Amino acid sequence: MQEKKNTGRTIARILTFILLLIVLAAFVFPFILVVINVFKTKADITVNPLSIIGEHGFTMDNFPNAMEKMNFLNVFKNSLIVTICATILTLLFSAMAAFVIVRNNWKACIIFFAVMIASMVIPFQVLMIPIVSVYGNLLKLVDQRLVLILLHVGFSVSMATFMYHGAIKTNVPKELEEAAYIDGCSRWQTFWKVVFPLLGPTTATVAIIDAMAFWNDYLLPSLILKDKLVQTIPISTKLFYGTYSTDIGLIMAALLLAMLPILILYLFLQKFIVKGVTSGAVKG
C-alpha cells in the first residue's frame, strides 16, 4: 500500500515537472526566437525564422543599423531618466505615505488609504482621453519628460503604498520607533534611520516592478511624448514598422537592446521579489 502511494507521488511529481517545463518553454520561446533571428538577415528571417543560422550566415549588422535608425543613445538616455526619476519618487512618496497611514489612526488616513486602494482598479484606458485633453489641449504640457515622470508616479504610487503599508504594519515593531524617540530622534529621523532600512526587501520589490513597468511602457509615453528628441525606447521601435515593408532584423535588434538593461536589473535583484511581496502577508 505504501509503495503504491510512493509510486503515485512520484508520477504526480514527474507530471508536474513536465507541465512546468512546458509552461517555461512557452514563456521563454519568444525570447529565444528574438535572440536567434537578431543575427540573421531579413531574407533569412522571412524564409525560415526557426533556423539557428540562415543561408547568408551570421551577421551583426542589425545592431548598428537599428541603433542608428532609432537614435539609440538619445532614446536610451530618455528612458533612463524617466525610469530612474519615476522609480525614486514612487519609492519616496509611497514609503512616507504608508508610514503616516500606519502610525496614525486619523479618519483622514483611513479614507485616503481606501481611496488609493479603490483607484487601483480603474483601468488606464478610462483616463487616456482626459489626460490628452488636459495636458495636451488645455495646459500644453506634452513633449516634456517631467510630465511623464509625474504621471508614472501618480499611477504607481497606490500599489507601492499598499505594499509598504503591509510591510510596515507587520514587520516594523512600534517599540523600535519608541526607542528612537526616547533617544532624541525626530519623527523624520526615525523614519529614515529606523523604519526605512527595515523595508529593504519591499523597496527592492517595488523598485523592480515599477522600473520594469516604466521602462517597457508604450501607451502613456506615446500620448505625452510626440517630439523624437524626448521619446523613450518603446516608442522609437515603431520607426521600424513601415506601411508596405518591415525590417524584422532591425526590429529584433531594437527589442533586444530595449530589454537587456531591465533584464540585467531583474537578474541582480530577483531574489528580493518573493521576500518583498510576502513580507507584509503574514503577521508574526
pLDDT of 282 reads 47
> Which pLDDT band holds residue 200 (cuts at 50, 70, 90)?
confident
pLDDT of 278 reads 54
Interatomic CA distance for residues 45 and 130, integer angstroms: 42
Q: Which fold has domain 72-278?
A: MetI-like fold (1.10.3720)
Summary mean pLDDT of the chain: 83
* pTM confidence score: 0.81
Interatomic CA distance for residues 97 and 155, integer angstroms: 15
pLDDT of 283 reads 47
Check residues 5 and 37 and name the one with the higher pLDDT.
37
Per-residue pLDDT, averaged over 142-166, amounts to 89
At 266, the amino acid letter reads Y
* HSE value, Cβ hemisphere, 13 Å, CA-based, for 64: 3
Give the pLDDT confidence of 166-196 residue by residue, as tens digits.
Answer: 889 888 888 888 888 888 888 888 889 888 9
pLDDT of 82 reads 94
Look at residue 279 and give its three-state secondary structure: coil
Q: Is the dihedral of CA 219, 221, 223, 226 positive or negative?
A: negative
Residue 154 has pLDDT above 80, yes or no: yes
pLDDT of 284 reads 44
Phi, psi (degrees; rounded to nearest 5) at 241: -100, 105
Give the pLDDT confidence of 225-277 residue by residue, as tens digits.
Answer: 888 888 898 888 877 776 556 777 788 888 888 888 877 877 777 666 665 55
Give the pLDDT confidence of 71-119 residue by residue, as tens digits.
Answer: 888 999 999 999 999 999 999 999 999 999 998 888 888 898 899 888 8
> Which pLDDT band holds residue 23 (cuts at 50, 70, 90)?
very high
CA nearest neighbour of 220 among 160, 142, 122: 142
Interatomic CA distance for residues 255 and 49, integer angstroms: 16
C-alpha cell at 64: 548598428
For the chain, which residues make up each domain, given as ranges?
A: 2-37, 72-278
Please name the residue ranges forming H helices in the chain: 2-37, 42-47, 62-70, 72-103, 107-119, 124-131, 145-171, 174-182, 187-190, 200-216, 219-224, 233-236, 248-269, 271-278
Q: Do the beta carbons of residue 233 and residue 46 sit within 8 Å?
A: no
Q: Is the dihedral of CA 223, 227, 232, 233 positive or negative?
A: positive
Q: Is the dihedral of CA 62, 67, 68, 69 positive or negative?
A: positive
Using the structure block, give the residue that is written with the C-alpha cell 527589442. 255
